[in-house]
Structure 1
Amino acid sequence: MCPRAAAALLCALAACAPRVREAPPARVEAVAVGGATVRLEYGPQDEREARRVAAALAWAVPRAEQWGPLRAPVTIVLQPSHAALEAAVHRPGYPWLRAWARYDAIELQSPRTWNRFFPPAAAELEELLAHELTHCAMYQQAGSAWSWPWLEIPLWFREGMASVTAGQGYKRTRPAELRAFWARPSGGAADGVAGSAGGARAGAAGDPIADPEPLYQAQPELVYGAAHLAFQFLLDRYGADRVRQVLAGMREGHAFPGAFRRAIGLTPAEFEGEFRRYVAWQDWAGR
């Protein structure tokens, strides 16, 4: 099974698998933001965190809906611990994970458990919710409740759109670091430039754009940073309207590769090669 098909299968299994919780949430409430409805599910220990999440939605929902309205209500489940989050999304061994989004649901580790000493700032919570809600908006614009896991959307597009929309570039890998990774013998072509339209030469160690799964667990900064940079490059070169055309093409029945080619004029692999050349040929010294 190819890496992208395997990634799609993992997403589908996570989407269809039953949620696992340490204790069933005792409270449910609906929050309206514009035309969107977000349901909060939480236990009594997280009543204060639910209030913080509800307040953050006023900023996060409009950010996510720049790609199109949330067509279906989204349920945010506050998981009482990191272990509960990992169990709910079937991703053990991801200590950095704070949330996981599906078509109409977000599993969110309770912010009170993010660190031992002080709660996250309001802006940090707003960013994370905007990031996760962008996933929901993307999936809802691109497909249906049953089709979205099978659209073959690459990780760089999914996470790049979410990171750029949430304004998280300040915390991402810089271009020089990505260039250095690709310049290594194991990172692709010897000069850091794709040797063919196929983009990166994905070896056993993986590639942050072409084959991110081998890197995702241990090197999330590299994977998320590359995704952010690639999506920003896509926006700067082709514009937001053509990105929306990619989503519309998937909703019309095309998988991501076909929808991307129709909207952008390149195959995803050709775009990945274009992005690699852009990174390799820039003078990033001091940036």
Structure 2
Amino acid sequence: MPRVALAAALALLAACAPRAPRDGAGAERALDVSAGGARFRIVFGPEDAGEARRVADALALAAPRAQRFGALAVPVTITLHPSHAALERAASRPGYPWLRAWARYATIELQSPRTWGGLGGLVGARRGRVAELLAHELAHCAMWQRAGDAQTWLYKGIPRWFTEGLASVAAGQERRHAALADLARFYDGAAPSAAGGAGGPDPLSESEALYLRQAELVYGAAHHAFGFLVARYGDARVRAVLDGMGAGLSFASAFRAAVGPEPEAFEAEFRRYVAWRGFER
């Protein structure tokens, strides 16, 4: 293998490998769990032994929900990090204060729920929130596992609205997002040929410009766009898109083969539906 290619391969393996918890005292520990027909390993430091058991408990709720569009065929390692700083390091995502987890093909980096705040110390509330977040992140893993393998999953060209929308719909997170009417107000004032709305870049096609500072807009638009896709074409077409990628196609080619229109045409159709208040009819 050429030296440059070897270096790239090693960098990819390092990015996808589970990271040991940092900032804690003592050796890491592991807990193996089966839930929803899938297998998991929870890696944690001694300070998070209780949280690891709660995560294991939450997997019973999260794993079946996460597999709506694809099975978790490869075991997933969930690493608990004792602080937000440790999570950002493991995810290689500095400056994301709202981030609580980061998924890859067969790993999830998870900030220990005991550090989230806003849960009032209630174990029941924590379990529900953890299960919801895990369902979202595991849906990412399931999607990538169906669409590719450990070497190809990063290179399918899947847009953020599809990846985040699929995970949000699978996790049942509609109540966490603004209503379609709010998204319609964002698009108000846009020129007929423009993708962006009066509020700036388009959250579907230009999400990178918004993701860091306006994550809720991006996540909300993704959820509603994917919900529109499922309502119009059904779950089976979504699975067919993933299977097309699994057979070697790019996202655009798989989407066209399974759904019909080009992804950009579908995005434009969804924008018209929102801007013309189709959801009110």
TM-score tier (shorter): 0.7 to 0.9
- Structure 1 residues 177 and 128 mapped into 2: Cα distance closer, same or farther (>3 Å)? same
Aligned residue number for residue 238 of structure 2: 243
Aligned residue number for residue 87 of structure 1: 89
Aligned residue number for residue 251 of structure 2: 256
Give the Cα separation in 1 of the matches to 2:53 and 2:198.
46
Contact 2:40 2:75 in 1 (8 A): yes
- Structure 1 residues 91 and 231 mapped into 2: Cα distance closer, same or farther (>3 Å)? same
CA RMSD of aligned residues (A): 2.4
The yes-or-no answer on 1:55 pairing with 2:50 is: no
1:66 aligns to what SS in structure 2?
coil
Give the Cα separation in 1 of the matches to 2:258 and 2:217.
27
- Structure 1 residues 116 and 102 mapped into 2: Cα distance closer, same or farther (>3 Å)? same
Give the Cα separation in 2 of the matches to 1:148 and 1:88.
19
Structure 2: any 5+ residue segments left out of the alignment? 1-11
The yes-or-no answer on 1:22 pairing with 2:23 is: yes
Output aligned runs, 1:138-177, within 5 Å: 138-177=143-182
Structure 1: any 5+ residue segments left out of the alignment? 1-11
1:269 aligns to what SS in structure 2?
helix
Residue 221 of structure 1: how far off its partner (Å)? 0.9
Give the Cα separation in 1 of the matches to 2:248 and 2:67.
22
Alignment match of 2:272 (pick from 267, 272, 277): 277
The yes-or-no answer on 1:111 pairing with 2:106 is: no
Output aligned runs, 1:60-139, within 5 Å: 60-115=62-117, 118-119=120-121, 120-139=125-144
- Structure 1 residues 18 and 127 mapped into 2: Cα distance closer, same or farther (>3 Å)? closer
Give the Cα separation in 2 of the matches to 1:275 and 1:248.
23
1:266 aligns to what SS in structure 2?
coil
Residue 71 of structure 1: how far off its partner (Å)? 1.2
Alignment match of 1:33 (pick from 32, 35, 38): 35
Alignment match of 1:267 (pick from 262, 272, 275): 262
The yes-or-no answer on 1:229 pairing with 2:224 is: yes
Residue 231 of structure 1: how far off its partner (Å)? 0.3
Give the Cα separation in 1 of the matches to 2:14 and 2:252.
23
1:41 aligns to what SS in structure 2?
strand
Give the Cα separation in 1 of the matches to 2:256 and 2:208.
23
Contact 1:141 1:247 in 2 (8 A): yes
Give the Cα separation in 2 of the matches to 1:14 and 1:77.
15
2:40 aligns to what SS in structure 1?
strand
Give the Cα separation in 2 of the matches to 1:66 and 1:169.
16
1:216 aligns to what SS in structure 2?
coil
TM-score normalised to the size of structure 1?
Answer: 0.86
Q: Which amino acid aligns with 1:223?
A: V
2:67 aligns to what SS in structure 1?
helix
Give the Cα separation in 1 of the matches to 2:103 and 2:197.
27
Contact 2:74 2:145 in 1 (8 A): yes
Give the Cα separation in 1 of the matches to 2:42 and 2:163.
24
Contact 1:68 1:137 in 2 (8 A): yes
The yes-or-no answer on 1:206 pairing with 2:201 is: yes
The number of residue pairs the alignment matches comes to 265
* CA-to-aligned-CA distance 1:54-79 (integer Å, 9 cap, x gap): 00100111111222221110000001
Range 227-236 or range 61-70, more displaced: 61-70
1:38 aligns to what SS in structure 2?
strand
TM-score normalised to the size of structure 2?
Answer: 0.88
Residue 93 of structure 1: how far off its partner (Å)? 1.1
* CA-to-aligned-CA distance 1:22-53 (integer Å, 9 cap, x gap): 34861012101143100000001101111110
* CA-to-aligned-CA distance 1:102-153 (integer Å, 9 cap, x gap): 0000000000000167245321111100000000000000000010011111
- Structure 1 residues 16 and 61 mapped into 2: Cα distance closer, same or farther (>3 Å)? closer
Residue 236 of structure 1: how far off its partner (Å)? 0.2
